[in-house]
Amino acid sequence: MLRAFKTSYILDVYLQLFEEYQCTTLNTRILWTDHIISMDQEHIKFILSTGFEHFWRGRWQKERMERFLGQGIFNRDDEMWRMDLYSRFALDAASEFLFGQNLDTLSATLPVAGKTKMGPKGSATEDPWGSFASAFEMAQQVITARSRVGYFWPLFELFRDKNAPNAEVVHRWLDPLVKSALSEKEKMEKAGICSPVTEKNFLQHLAESTDDPIIIRDQLLSLLLAARDTTACLLTYVTYFMAIYPEITKRLRSEVLEHCGTSGSVTYEQLRNLKYMRAVINETLRLYPPVPLNVRESRAGGCTLSPSDSTYRASCDADVMADDPRPLHMPGSTAITFLPLLTQRNKILWGSDADVFDPDRWLEGERLSRFVANPMMFTPFSAGPRICLGQNYAYNEASFFLVRLLQQFDTFSLAPEAQPSGSLPPLEWKRRKGRQVEEKIWPAAALTLFVKGGLWVRIAREAH
């Protein structure tokens, strides 16, 4: 399996297991240890929402991530997780996002087409920003590799924690920000100045809630992970679709020009009117959810999972195991990996064209009603109490970015010759089934989804 993960299409290893055993939830039991995988929307609903109290991120996940994510929101349960700062932050959608200071990484060295090496996730550059990005991405790769090995990963790292050097680079970069926020706070306190809540950025809010630089740093890092890699992934895959489906780009662009004009900034009101844009974004999130899989651990007592989704069972041969309507036992302290990417491409839920990129499925009443009746079919932002806090922010940010891009450009095409070597899809994918047959890039996951080697495109303006 470990070897297959390296070369096979995203999550195909799991999909093949589900197909082989004709089910949507399965105990893989690797090295005598229960590890359950699920693409079953009923079970995902239970883990994230209705049975929330039976699960947590758990000890194993915490250990894998500790060195990198520390006490940040992604790596804590219960009290630490409940810090209300996040809800306030999300509600306020602070305009000075996160640091209140422009890090201006766009002015740092950009990767050069055809000359760039593959980084841990996208492409690599050799400058201070490049080393930060590389360590940041490498740390995510290490965590993903650990989860594939299972509970035994510490055996492979007996003499060195593979994330220690990555964490050091990332921390060195974040620590000055934390330090200056804390000293700023001290200065303000001494001077008896208290700025209004609405004027504070996220970092200042954090500094106000605690003096512990480690907690501040870890929360910043989690937010950076939440906001950087996910939104970048969404925009990357929208751009991929714009490059391979020019007619969709044309329709999207005419909507943008009609509602937002050919130049200038846009208002929330204008963004809200972009119905086709929202459909393109949703369809991209359906096929390429930036968090394609996730893990929870059952709490010590275990629990009962309802029977597999009945729509799925109805479609199976009557005599196979999956048709069993009995509830399932979820043992205590056991990992369960759930796979929104597979659920969101499941033909039984989405129809025979589930693998096809078709934004119109979000606009046509009858097709849309399927999803409205059953929202667990589509969970790119997760669900339940720990649903993404940046969802609206992300929709606005992505739409804004795309409006500004499409005001300027109308032609997008892939530049496979510029892809770093080893990042084009293997030929053997053509012999398989599903999206991989047509895929022009290599989707891969390390905590979040990305395009191996980065997505290289030519962007131009032809119409005047």
Question: Which one of residues 124, 142, 226, 339 is an interface residue with ligand HEM (CB under 6 A)?
Answer: 226
61 binds ligand HEM (CB under 6 A): no
Report in angstroms how near the CB of residue 288 gets to ligand HEM at its nearest.
10
Helix spans in 36-163 (H): 41-45, 58-69, 78-81, 85-92, 128-149, 153-156
- DSSP letter string, 317-357: -TTSGGG--S-EEE-TT-EEEE-HHHHTT-HHHH-TTTTS-
**DSSP 8-state class, residue 300:** T
133 binds ligand HEM (CB under 6 A): no
* 388 labelled ligand-binding: yes
Question: Which one of residues 381, 429, 450, 456 is an interface residue with ligand HEM (CB under 6 A)?
Answer: 381
Report in angstroms how near the CB of residue 233 gets to ligand HEM at its nearest.
7
Q: What amino acid occupies position 22?
A: Q
Furthest-apart CA atoms within the chain: distance in Å: 76
Report in angstroms how near the CB of residue 87 gets to ligand HEM at its nearest.
9
Tell me the C-alpha distance between 429 and 437, whole Å: 6
Question: Which one of residues 68, 86, 350, 429 is an interface residue with ligand HEM (CB under 6 A)?
Answer: 86
Whichever of 290 and 307 has its CB closer to ligand HEM, that residue is 290
Tell me the C-alpha distance between 312 and 163, whole Å: 40
Point out the residue whose Cβ comes nearest to ligand HEM.
Answer: 390
Q: How many residues line the site for ligand HEM (CB under 6 A)? A: 21
227 binds ligand HEM (CB under 6 A): yes
Question: Which one of residues 220, 274, 305, 389 is an interface residue with ligand HEM (CB under 6 A)?
Answer: 389
Whichever of 18 and 381 has its CB closer to ligand HEM, that residue is 381
Q: In 3D, which of 392, 64, 130, 406 has the Cα closest to residue 256?
A: 406
Report in angstroms how near the CB of residue 448 gets to ligand HEM at its nearest.
8
Question: Which one of residues 394, 418, 441, 444 is an interface residue with ligand HEM (CB under 6 A)?
Answer: 394
388 binds ligand HEM (CB under 6 A): yes
Question: Which one of residues 234, 238, 336, 341 is an interface residue with ligand HEM (CB under 6 A)?
Answer: 234
- In this structure, the strands spanning 335-338 and 411-414 are unpaired
Q: In 3D, which of 25, 47, 42, 32 has the Cα closest to residue 299?
A: 47
Q: In 3D, which of 291, 334, 306, 293 has the Cα closest to residue 56?
A: 334
230 binds ligand HEM (CB under 6 A): yes
**DSSP 8-state class, residue 113:** T
288 binds ligand HEM (CB under 6 A): no
290 binds ligand HEM (CB under 6 A): yes
Whichever of 63 and 323 has its CB closer to ligand HEM, that residue is 63
CB 14: neighbour CB atoms within 10 A? 22
69 binds ligand HEM (CB under 6 A): no
390 binds ligand HEM (CB under 6 A): yes
* Number of residues that this document lists for the chain: 464
Rounded to 5 degrees, what are φ and ψ at 30? -95, 130
What residues contact residue 413 under an 8 Å CB cut-off, 6+ apart? 243, 457, 458
Range in contact with ligand HEM (rule: CB under 6 A) among 17-25, 139-147, 220-228, 260-268: 220-228
Question: Which one of residues 393, 429, 442, 450 is an interface residue with ligand HEM (CB under 6 A)?
Answer: 393
Tell me the C-alpha distance between 254 and 15, whole Å: 38
- In this structure, the strands spanning 55-56 and 294-298 are antiparallel
Whichever of 55 and 429 has its CB closer to ligand HEM, that residue is 55
383 binds ligand HEM (CB under 6 A): no
Q: In 3D, which of 391, 377, 306 has the Cα closest to residue 51?
A: 306
Can you give the binding site for ligand HEM, defined by CB under 6 A? 73, 81, 86, 223, 226-227, 230-231, 234, 290-291, 294, 380-382, 386, 388-390, 393-394
Summarize the annotated binding site as residue ranges: 388
